[in-house]
Structure 1
Amino acid sequence: MKRQQLALFIGLSLSALSATTLSTTALASQASDPQTVFSQAYQSYLAAVKADENVQQTAKLAYTSGKAVYGKSDDNTANLAINYAKAIKGYGDELNEQRFALYNEAHTILAANHGKQSIETIDALLGQANYTTSAYKAANFLEQVIDIAKTQNKPKFVADMKLEAASLLAKKFSSKKYREAKNYLEEADEYYQENLPENSLERIKADFLMASFAEGRKKYNQAIERLNRIVNVFDSNLNFDHSAELSAHSKLIGLYEKQGKSEEATKHCLAIAKMVPWKESQEQTPLYRVNPDYPLNKAKQGRSGSVAMEFEVDTAGFVKNVSILNSDGGVSFEKSAIKAVEQWRYAPKFEKGQPVSATSQVRLDFKINR
């Protein structure tokens, strides 16, 4: 029987803003019994992916039954292992170890069949980098990815892989691999600015990450410049996913408030309010919040407390007229809670296209970890 190469449901997507197209390869279903079992399992997996339900269970069955058909060293087994790794839901060390083992298995197979410098190994390397617990190993896997990308003679692909590496290192190992992440990001950003239009998805993601790095170094003006560029792109390209624009506005509110520029933050509070339809049943969520200080006398006594408050969110998203509904623990908790909440910012309620004041409530709990 001639073996057919299975479609691999993975892609080198750079963010949630980009989509991966799924493709399939027809499989013979009437060969030996193991082949029939696998064929049925794989078709169930394809249907689960399309319906977006039971993907993990069907991916696991396709992987185990496919391995029985193709053996331990076939590309199809590697691809099925990656599909299964990507389908695993949930968090925790045990699940991450399981994902890593599957990506490691796939990489071993693909490197043996195509060479360690082959492009076929990139997704397995990225998977290992994402799920290893070692910052050193993650950096090593990503360095291999970029070295492989350079062999393709495609500068944008190299930049994309550098951005992917920067995102992963910044997310999981920023304290240990900050410099590597920063260098990768700056190199990718330089390429994008010179070669891609400002409304490209790659530039938007690079701007977000550059803003995050700048904020981490308390270079707030640099972060604000990047995020305002994102907002301007969305303002002139209304067909984009507005969740990214909401995120940019929200981050700008926090940055302006950190600089004491509340009026600058106001326009972004209003922008979010216009973008998100008001629901009477919704609980207003602060766009910027300051945590209350724990009263020193209560901390020394090991005392806990809570404060429930009602307040007005005015037409600019400021908190006004805070009143205590009930509290437990004493006046010092109340004073600390009020002082914090008065610094919060909200998206104001809109009625008939205009901002109006609204009443909201919140409860703050003060607890000492023992």
Structure 2
Amino acid sequence: MPVKAALMALAIGASYSASAAYTSFADAYSAYQQSLAGIDKVDIAVKARQAFELGKQEYAADSANYAALMMNYANAIAATTMSGGQSGKLCIESSQRVAEGAQPSEKLSTFDACSSEHLRQQAFELYHQALQIYQQQYGDKALETIDPLLGMAQTTELEQEKKYFSFDAINVAEKHGDALTLAATQLAAYKLLHRAKYYLHNTNKVDNLALDALKTYRNNAPANSFEVVDAELTVAKLHLEKKQYDDAEPLFQDVIKQLDVLPYSHPYALTAHALLVKLYQEADASEKATLHCKAIGQATPWDDNQQPAPLYSQAPLYPILYARQHKAGSVELAFTIDENGTVQNPQVVNVTGGERFADEAITALKQWRYAPKFENGKAVAAQSSLKLDFKLDGR
């Protein structure tokens, strides 16, 4: 997403540093900022909640600074709901902090609703409230409205709203005429819409959002900027999904090359390696696939003691018979992530709704790739688990 809210949040931190009266909020907000340097989405969400709650005591409910805190919290919640199993971990983390005798300010991190669905709804409402504040403060088509519009598109359960909010954000960006802002908005909208039903009947229109964004970044941003890398990775995935291997391969390779200057293996570089494994396997180039598989296992971690992190996930197919019968269900799986980030020995722990859900879940999970677990800087095998839900739209 564009970073207007994040810039506003930085201003909040600066305004508090000068006054001892705001020490408790300053500490909470500082902890939140520090958490952003890591990859623990649950920790970020807990700390964003603390800063948001304490910020209520200092800012008017209709102020832009209060809306910025609201956006930070909504973004953190949304990030956990987009990662398999993270919403459950968020609830466990919050409960443990209270059970272990946390300080009063930490108890604010106890979440009112712990299911992924409830957290998504909570994030949507926060985005909606922030949008209303920004519209009141700056106007209906102000640049500040782009972030909450995209957030609402991400967290709404209604397909029509996902399209409406995404293109409303694009229209705002177009009105202001800044090429890079428009590119950022187009790329964010593409990521939201290419998995939506709208994409099925408007494929070219949605794909062009990503293609246009990449073209704009290449013409207007530094060649080694993160925006270019992000756009290249997104468009490479687009080409891979369409089995346009000749278009996808050089983009993945360039992502790896651009990030190779870092002292650690960036998650985007590892994702590019993982998807090149998939590309070469599909193209019957097993030797090349093996090289990139080994590259993941030989990665330099950003933390010497690092938990596995998903790089690529494949959604399971919905069994046709179950879809016709309007069946829903879920599958809980346990598995090993080996030193190369490959899923090994997936086992069904529990299944509801029918055994065919389990078959499709295992088939999909075998395609997943992870950044492996690291202990003392060395990749090691790790045990993991997740729950995959099968739910038809509108049910």
* TM category, shorter: 0.5 to 0.7
Which one-letter code corresponds to 2:71 in the other structure?
A: I
Q: How far off is 1:139 after superposition?
A: 2.2
- Aligned in 2, Cα 1:233/1:84: closer, same or farther, shift over 3 Å? closer
1:55 aligns with 2:50: no
Match for 1:145 among 150, 169, 172? 169
SS in 1 for 2:6: coil
| CA displacement, residues 246-301 of structure 1 (integer Å, 9 cap, x when unaligned) | 22122111211111111222332343344358xxxx9x99x99xxxxxxxxxxxxx
Match for 1:119 among 134, 138, 143? 143
Match for 1:25 among 15, 40, 65? 15
SS in 1 for 2:218: helix
2:232 aligned residue:
207
Distance 1:117 1:224 in 2: 39
1:299 aligned residue:
none
Distance 1:85 1:346 in 2: 26
- Aligned in 2, Cα 1:156/1:241: closer, same or farther, shift over 3 Å? farther
Q: Which has the bigger relative contact order, CA under 8 A and spacing at least 6?
A: 2
The share of aligned pairs that are identical, in percent, is 28
2:275 aligned residue:
251
Cα RMSD after superposing both structures:
4.7
Q: Does the CA contact (< 8 Å) of 1:41 and 1:65 recur in 2?
A: no
Q: How far off is 1:221 after superposition?
A: 2.6
1:193 aligned residue:
218
Superposition pairs of residues 126-165 of structure 1, within 5 angstroms: 126-165=150-189
- Aligned in 2, Cα 1:135/1:233: closer, same or farther, shift over 3 Å? same
Which one-letter code corresponds to 2:68 in the other structure?
A: N
1:166 aligned residue:
190
Distance 2:158 2:370 in 1: 40
- Aligned in 2, Cα 1:64/1:215: closer, same or farther, shift over 3 Å? same
Q: Does the CA contact (< 8 Å) of 2:265 and 2:299 recur in 1?
A: no
Q: Does the CA contact (< 8 Å) of 1:166 and 1:180 recur in 2?
A: no
1:321 aligned residue:
none
Distance 2:70 2:266 in 1: 34
- Aligned in 2, Cα 1:262/1:87: closer, same or farther, shift over 3 Å? closer
Higher alpha-carbon deviation: 147-156 or 254-263: 147-156
- Aligned in 2, Cα 1:191/1:161: closer, same or farther, shift over 3 Å? same
Distance 2:145 2:4 in 1: 14
1:79 aligns with 2:43: no
Distance 2:265 2:370 in 1: 22
SS in 2 for 1:70: coil
Gaps of 5+ in 2: 36-42, 81-85, 88-115, 313-338, 341-368, 372-380, 384-389, 391-395
Distance 1:80 1:272 in 2: 36
1:93 aligns with 2:117: yes
Distance 2:151 2:270 in 1: 29
- Aligned in 2, Cα 1:229/1:46: closer, same or farther, shift over 3 Å? closer
Q: Does the CA contact (< 8 Å) of 1:167 and 1:181 recur in 2?
A: no
Which one-letter code corresponds to 1:272 in the other structure?
A: I
Which one-letter code corresponds to 1:188 in the other structure?
A: A
Distance 2:269 2:26 in 1: 38
Q: Does the CA contact (< 8 Å) of 2:149 and 2:169 recur in 1?
A: yes
Match for 2:26 among 43, 54, 60? 43
Distance 1:101 1:40 in 2: 28
| CA displacement, residues 137-158 of structure 1 (integer Å, 9 cap, x when unaligned) | 1222222222222333321221
1:218 aligned residue:
243
2:354 aligned residue:
none
- Aligned in 2, Cα 1:77/1:218: closer, same or farther, shift over 3 Å? same
Match for 1:11 among 1, 6, 11? 6
| CA displacement, residues 184-206 of structure 1 (integer Å, 9 cap, x when unaligned) | 10111121233344432122111
Distance 2:270 2:17 in 1: 44
- Aligned in 2, Cα 1:29/1:257: closer, same or farther, shift over 3 Å? closer
Q: Does the CA contact (< 8 Å) of 1:97 and 1:131 recur in 2?
A: yes
Distance 1:50 1:204 in 2: 24
2:315 aligned residue:
none
Q: How far off is 1:123 after superposition?
A: 2.1
- Aligned in 2, Cα 1:240/1:205: closer, same or farther, shift over 3 Å? farther
Higher alpha-carbon deviation: 172-181 or 91-100: 172-181
